[in-house]
Structure 1
Amino acid sequence: MTRSLIGVVLLAAALYLGLCLALLLFQRSLIYFPQPRAIGGPERLLMLPVTDQQIAVTVRPLASAKALIYFGGNAEDVSRSLPSFAEAFPDHALYLLHYRGFGDSTGKPTEDAIQHDALALFDKVRALHAEVALVGRSLGSGVAIRLASQRPASRLVLVTPYNSILELAQRQFPIFPVRWMLHDKYESWRYAPTITVPTLVIAAEHDEVIPRWSTEKLIRQFKPGVTRVEVIAGAGHNDIGESPEYLRLLRAGL
C-alpha cells in the first residue's frame, strides 16, 4: 500500500470516527425539538413536581370519572390541541404533557425522564378519575404504549406509531453502529404484547416520517383482538390532525 493510499485511508477513518462522535454527542438534538407553549394561561397549567424538575401539563379540569392524557410528537406544542380536544371530549378531563424542555417544563428530554414524568402524571390523574385513557402521537406513541404496559389505562390510542426508534435510526444511518450508540431507543414492540386494553391505531395514508412497515410491524406485536386499525386517507404525518376524520376516530377510540 502506497503512502498516499495509507493517508487516504487514515483520513477516511478519522472522518468516520468524527461523524460517529458527533452522532453520539448530538443524537438527542436529532430526536427532540422543544417548542414553547402557545395556548392557555396559569389557570390552564398544572405543574407536576418531580424529584429534580418542574413538569408542565396543559389541562382542562373537569369533575368527571373520565380523563385523557395526551403525549405529543417530538416537535409539538401540545397546548395547541387543547381547544379541539376540549370540544371533542366534553366529558373528559384533559391532561396534555409538555416533555422536559418543552413549554414551561424544565430539564432536558430523555426517554427515561419522559417515562418517569408520564408515570407520575398518570398516578396523579388516576387518583382523581376512575378511567384514564392514553393518547400518544408519533414520538408520544412510544411513551403511551410503555405507560399502558405499566398502569391500568382504560383505553389506548396510538397515532402514527412506530415499532422502534432504534430501528428507524438504523435505516436512516446504516453505516453507523446505531444500536450501540443510541440512548433513547423507544422500542414499542417490547410493550405491545403485554397490552390488554382496547387499542386504536390511527395511521396516515401518506406518512412521510414513520414508514408504513414500521407501524404494521408494531401492530403485529399485539395479541389478537386487542387492536383496531384506521388509516386516514390523504393524510401525511404532520397534517393528520387537520383531517376531519382525526377527532372522529379519537372519539370512537375512547
Structure 2
Amino acid sequence: MAPRWSIPLVAGLAAPVGLYISFLLLGSIPLFQRHFLYAHKLNTLFWHDINKPEYWGFARNQVTPFSIQTADGETLYAWHVLPLRAYLKNEDKLQAQPAGFAEDVTSTESFRMLREDPDARLVVYFHGNAGHIAQAIRPDSYHTLTDTSSHHVLAIDYRGFGKSTGIPSEAGLINDGVAAVDWAVNVAKVPSSQIVIMGQSLGTAVTAGVAEHFAMQGVEFAGVIMIASFSNLPTLLSRYSAAGYIPVLSPVRTIPPLLRFFQGFVVDKWKSDDRLATLVNLARHGLRLTLIHAKNDAEIPCSESDALFRSAAGSAIGTDLDDEDFAKWKEERTVLRDDGTFVALVESSQPDIVIREELVPYGGHNDVMLSSPVALAVMRSFGLDSKESS
C-alpha cells in the first residue's frame, strides 16, 4: 500500500503532466501547431493604433504605413522608416503631408526620398513570432537602425499577423519576404547590392528562405544578417523554451524514439541550416553573412547559431569535417574574449564570401536587437568599414 504522503504528491504531478501531454497532442494537429508556433493572434491591436507610429517616438511621417501585395493575393501591412538624417533635410515637406496609412505609397514624400536617392541603403527587416510590426522591442530596433545612420528600413507583418491578410505557413511567410524585397527592388528601385536583409528569431528563418530564393535567381544582397537564429525547427523544439521557461519537446529529449516521434509531426520544418549551405554554394560574386546571438538568450540557445555557422562555413570550404576537426578549424579562425564571447570569421576570395558569427554577452533573445553589434553588422554589410578606412 502506498504511503499517505505519496497521494497528494502524485495528484500534484498529475495536473502539470496532463497539461503537458494535452499540449503535445494539440501541437500534433497542424492548425493548433501553427497557432503555437507563429502566435500571430497575440497582439495589442485592440489598444495600439499602428497607423500612428508617432506613439513609438517617431517624428511625424518619419514612418509611412502602407501595404504590399504578394504574388498569391495576400495584402501585407508594412512600414517604411526614414533615417533621421534624410528626414531632417526634408522635414518641412514631410510635416506638411497627411499622416497615417498611405493608400498610394508612391505618391508620398518618403517614397520619393527612397526612390530618387541613387545612394539609398535599405534594411529589409523580418521580425520574430507573435505580435505585430510595432509590438515589444520592434519600434526600438527601427530607431536603433535609423536614428544615427542613413539607412532606410522596410518592415512587414507576415500574413495573418497584425493587419495583414491570410494564414501563416512556412511557404507563405517566405512568399511574404520575397514580396517585400520585390517591392524594394522593382517599385522603390533600390538595387539589391544596396539592400541588407535582416531577421530576428523566426525572422531569421524567413531571411534564410528569402536569401535562398533570390540566390537561385542569381540575385545577391549587400548582406544577410540573422540575430538569435535557429538551425531548423524540429531540432530547436527539442531545446526551446517558450518565453524562456515553458519547455516544448525538451522533457522527452532523453527518450530519442519518442522525441523523433513528436518531431515527425512538425509541419513547417524551417531548415535554415540547409538553406544557408545552398546560399553559400550559389554565391557567385559575394556574400556577407552575419550571425549574432546573445550568450544569455534563454529562449533559443546560442549553440543554434553555432550549427548554422558550421553549415555555412562547411559549404564555403567544401570539405566535410567531423565534429572534432571542425572545432579545431573554427578555433583557428576565432577571437575568444575573456568573458567567453567570441567572433568567428571565415573569408574566401573566390568568390568574395565573408561568414561571421558573433556571440555577445548580453541582450537575451530580444534586446540583443538593440545592441551595437547589430548596427555594426549593417554598416559592415554596406561596406562602410572599408570606405571609412580608405
Output the TM-score relative to the length of structure 2: 0.56
CA distance, structure 2, for counterparts of residue 86 and residue 143 of structure 1: 22
- Larger mean CA deviation between 17-26 and 127-136 belongs to 17-26
Unaligned runs of 5+ in 1: 1-14
Q: Is the 8 A contact 1:160 1:210 kept in 2?
A: yes
Q: Report the RMSD for the aligned CA atoms in angstroms.
A: 2.6
Aligned to 2:272: 188
Unaligned runs of 5+ in 2: 1-18, 55-60, 82-110, 240-247, 253-257, 318-346, 348-353, 383-390
How far residue 245 of structure 1 moved from its aligned partner, in angstroms, is: 4.0
Secondary structure of 1:203's partner?
strand
CA distance, structure 2, for counterparts of residue 73 and residue 18 of structure 1: 26
Paired residue type of 2:365: H
Aligned to 1:74: 129
Is 1:230 aligned to 2:290, yes or no? no
Q: Flag the 1:21–1:78 CA change in 2: closer, same or farther, 3 A.
A: same
Cα distance per residue 1:33-73 (max 9 Å; x no partner): 23346452896122112333211111134233422210011
Q: Flag the 1:83–1:190 CA change in 2: closer, same or farther, 3 A.
A: same
Could you say which structure has the larger radius of gyration?
2
How far residue 184 of structure 1 moved from its aligned partner, in angstroms, is: 1.3
Is 1:32 aligned to 2:52, yes or no? no
Q: Flag the 1:32–1:240 CA change in 2: closer, same or farther, 3 A.
A: same
CA distance, structure 2, for counterparts of residue 89 and residue 183 of structure 1: 40
Greater than 6 Å deviation, 4+ residue runs: 15-18
Is 1:48 aligned to 2:68, yes or no? yes
Is 1:119 aligned to 2:178, yes or no? yes
Secondary structure of 2:27's partner?
helix
Alignment of structure 1 residues 95-106 onto 2, 5 Å: 95-106=154-165
Cα distance per residue 1:219-238 (max 9 Å; x no partner): 10112433112222222112
Aligned to 1:241: 369
CA distance, structure 2, for counterparts of residue 89 and residue 44 of structure 1: 18
Q: Is the 8 A contact 2:77 2:157 kept in 1?
A: yes
Is 1:135 aligned to 2:198, yes or no? yes
Paired residue type of 2:177: A
Aligned to 1:86: 146
CA distance, structure 2, for counterparts of residue 237 and residue 16 of structure 1: 24
